[in-house]
Structure 1
Amino acid sequence: MNRAHSRDIQKGWTVQERKISAVHRAGAVLEPGYWEDYDPFLLLMEDKFEKGAFDIHPHRGMETITYVIDGTINHYDSVTGEGGKLQKGDFQLMTAGRGVVHNESPGEGESVHLLQLWVNLSRKDKMVEPRYQNIHKEDAPVRQEEGALIRVYSGSSGSVVSNTLNYVPVTFVEMIIESGASISQDLPGNYNGYIYVLEGSGSFGENNFHAKKGQVLWLGAADESELSFIKVTATDKLRIVLFAGVPLKEPVFARGPFVMNTEEEIAQAYADYRNGKFIRQ
C-alpha cells in the first residue's frame, strides 16, 4: 500500500471584496480565466447581496456548487419548475448540463452571504440532463474528532462519505476547528485543491503556512499514484471550506454563463437560447 503524502500549501492570497451595485458586493476567491491552473474549477465567487442583484439567467456545460454562509436564499429553476429555499449551512449542487434557466434571490429586505463555485463538466458530460441536489445542513454527514467537526457535502472525509452524485469527482467539506486543535483531511493524490478561511486563523499543510479570515490557500500537488492529506491546526477557532477535484485536462471556452470545449459550441449555446431550443420540454 502506498504511504499517504502530506501536502504543502503552494501559495495563498487575500480576497478583495468590491461593490458591484447598491445591493451586491462580491470578491473573487478563484478568478475566472485560469482554466489550466484551477482545473476542474472555473471560478469561485463570494457574494453578499439583496433582492434584485441577479435576474433569471441560463447555464450550460458546467455545475454550480452553492454554499450559504449566512442568510436565506430562494431559488427558481427550470428543472423542477419551482425551486426551493437554502439557509445558513445549506449546500446545492446544480448540474446545468445541456441547459437550465434559474435565479437566486433573498426575500424582500433580506440579504444573503454565500459562495458559488463553478465546476467544469467533461466533454462527454457537457450535454447531460440537468439536475438539482439540495443538501441541508442537518442532513449532511458529519465527521467528529477531538476539537473538530467536518461536515461532508460532497466526497468523503476519513470514513464519512457523502451520497452526493458528481460527474466530476469533487470533495467539498466545511471544517470547524477549536483553537489549538488539529485535523487531517484525506484526498486522492491527483486532486487539485483549495481552502478558503471563513473565520479565525491557523496553520495549514506540511509547511505550516499561516492564514486568516479572507485568505485562500492552494494545495501543493501530490504524486498521482499516492494518497494524500492536508493538515490543519487552528490558532484561533477556525471555520473553513476545503474543495478539491480531479483535473479534466480539456480545452475550456467560456463566455458569460456557458462553458464548453470549442467556440462553435458556445455559439450554438447562444443560438439555442435565442431560438427557444435551450430547455427540453
Structure 2
Amino acid sequence: MATSTPAVSPEPKAVTVRTSVPSRKQSEGVGCTVFRSIGSAAFRNLDPFLMLDFFDSKPAPGVGFFSHPHRGFVTCSYMLGGEGMLHEDHTGTKGHLRPGDLQWMTAGRGVLHSEIPIGDTNVRGLQLWVNLPASKKMIPPDYQEISASRVPTATSPDGQVVVRVLSGECMGVAAAVQTFSPITYLDVTIQPGASWTLPIDPSYTNFVFTLDGTARFGRDRVTGIAKASIVFNTDGTVLPVSVDADAAEPARFVFLSGKPLHEPIVQHGPFVMNTQREIYEAIQDFQSASNGFENSHDWTASIEAGRR
C-alpha cells in the first residue's frame, strides 16, 4: 500500500534590510537636542509613523518644549533616563513622566501643551508621532499614561532577551495601551552571545531604532550602531537579531511595526491632516482659539513659571 509523505512546512523567511541611516542631530524647542530618524529628509515619513526623535537634553532655566499646538495625530513619549519631564496642556491635563514611564497623547482635533525636562542630569527618551486615520483626526484629545511598573515585560526562555512591551504583543505578553491602528512598539535588550527571532508581518511597516550596543539584523546581518534607523523590506516573515559573543555590552533597540493607513499625508509643522484645506482650517482654528483650541489664548502652562 502506498503511503503519503507528510507535507513539510517551509522555514520562515528572514527579512532583508531596505536601508540603514544614522539619525540627524538637531535643535528642537528651546535649548533641546534631538536625534531625528523618521521625519528627517531621509525618511519624511514611514506610514503610519510620522516622526521618531531621541532626545537628550540638560535641564536648565529656559530649556524646554514650551507651549505648542498639535492636531491630527498621536504622540508617544517614552522616558529612558534622567529625572523626567513635566507636561501640561490647555485642557487641564498635567503630570510628571519619569524613567520607564510611557505616555500616549491623542492630540485629535487640538491640544496646546508644554513639556519641560527637569533635574540635574540629562533627560533622555524617545518621542514617536503616529498618524491618525482620517476618521479619527477630529476626535477629542485623550491620554494613556502608563507608569514604569505597569509596562509589561516579556523574557525569552533562556533569559537572554528582555522586552518591555510598549504597545502590541510580544512572546504572548500584551501591552497595557490601546491604539487606533495596529502598532507594535518594543524596547528590546539582548545579551552578548544571544540571538532572537521576532515574527513580523511583511504587510506592515517594520523598522528598528538602535539605542545602545551593537546588534546584527535581518537575513543579511546588517550591523546596527547607536542611534541608527534600520528599515526592513517586505520580503520576510521573521526578523533574526543577534549580538556577538565578544560584545562589550548588551544591545538595546526599539522595534516598531505599524499597519499603513494608505491615506494622504499633508503636514504643516505640528498639524498633520489629509488635505491642504484641512491644514488651513487647523491654522485658522488655532489662531481663533476655536474648534478644539477653545481657551488656548488665555492659557498659560503653570510648569513654565520661572523656567522661561
TM-score (norm: length of structure 1):
0.90
**Cα distance in 2, alignment partners of residues 111 and 205 from structure 1:** 33
8 A Cα contact 1:33 1:42, kept in partner: no
Does the CA-based 8 Å contact 2:39-2:45 persist in structure 1? no
Q: Which residue of 2 aligns with 1:83?
A: 94
Taking the aligned partners of 2:131 and 2:154, their CA distance within structure 1 comes to 28
Q: Give me the whole-angstrom Cα distance separating, in 2, the residues matched to 1:56 and 1:155.
A: 31
2:47 to 14, 17, 39: 39
| 1:259-274 map, 5 Å | 259-274=272-287
Match of 1:74 in 2: 86
How far apart in 1 are the matches of 2:135 and 2:93? 28
* Structure 1: gaps (5+ residues): none
Structure 1: how far apart are the matches of 2:11 and 2:178? 28
TM-superposed deviation, 1:78: 3.3
Change (3 A) 1:244 1:161: same
Change (3 A) 1:11 1:179: same
8 Å contact kept, 1:32–1:42 = no
Q: Is the 8 A contact 1:67 1:115 kept in 2?
A: yes
Give the secondary-structure state (helix, strand or coil) at the position aligned to 1:268.
Answer: helix
> What amino acid does structure 2 have at the position aligned with 1:144?
T
2:24·2:40 contact (CA, 8 Å) conserved in 1? no
Output the CA distance in 1 between the equivalents of 2:109 and 2:166.
24
* 1:176 aligned onto 2:184: no
More strand by share: 1
Aligned equivalent of 1:24: 32
Query: For the residues of structure 1 that align with 2:41 and 2:74, how far apart are their CA atoms?
Result: 17
Q: Distance in 2 between matches of 1:39 and 1:66?
A: 19
State the SS of the aligned residue for 2:282.
helix
Q: Which residue, 154, 163, 176 being the options, matches 1:163? A: 176
The SS at the match of 2:293 is coil
**Partner-residue secondary structure (3-state), 1:132:** strand
Three-state SS of the structure 2 residue aligned to 1:6 is coil
5+ residue gaps in structure 2? 1-8, 296-308
Change (3 A) 1:22 1:267: closer
Supply the RMSD in Å over aligned alpha carbons.
2.3
* Alignment equivalent of 1:204, drawn from 213, 217, 231: 217
Partner of 1:247: 260
Query: Identity over the aligned pairs, expressed in percent?
Result: 30
1:97 aligns to what? 108
- 1:62 maps to a residue whose letter is F
Greater mean alpha carbon deviation, residues 209-218 or residues 29-38: 29-38
Matched to 2:219, the amino acid is E
Q: Is the 8 A contact 1:193 1:244 kept in 2?
A: yes
Does 2:137 match 1:123?
Answer: no
SS at match of 2:51: strand
SS in structure 1 of the partner of residue 66 of structure 2 = coil
Q: Is the 8 A contact 1:193 1:245 kept in 2?
A: yes
Q: Report deviation, 1:118.
A: 0.9
TM-score of the superposition, structure 2-length normalised?
Answer: 0.82
Contact 1:158/1:186 (<8 A) preserved: no
Structure 1 residue 260 displacement after superposition? 0.2
Match of 1:231 in 2: 240
1:279 pairs, out of 284, 289, 293, with 293
Aligned to 1:188: 201
- CA distance in structure 2 between the partners assigned to 1:265 and 1:195 by the alignment: 32
* Deviation at residue 171 of structure 1 after TM alignment: 0.5
Query: Aligned-pair distance for 1:18?
Result: 3.5
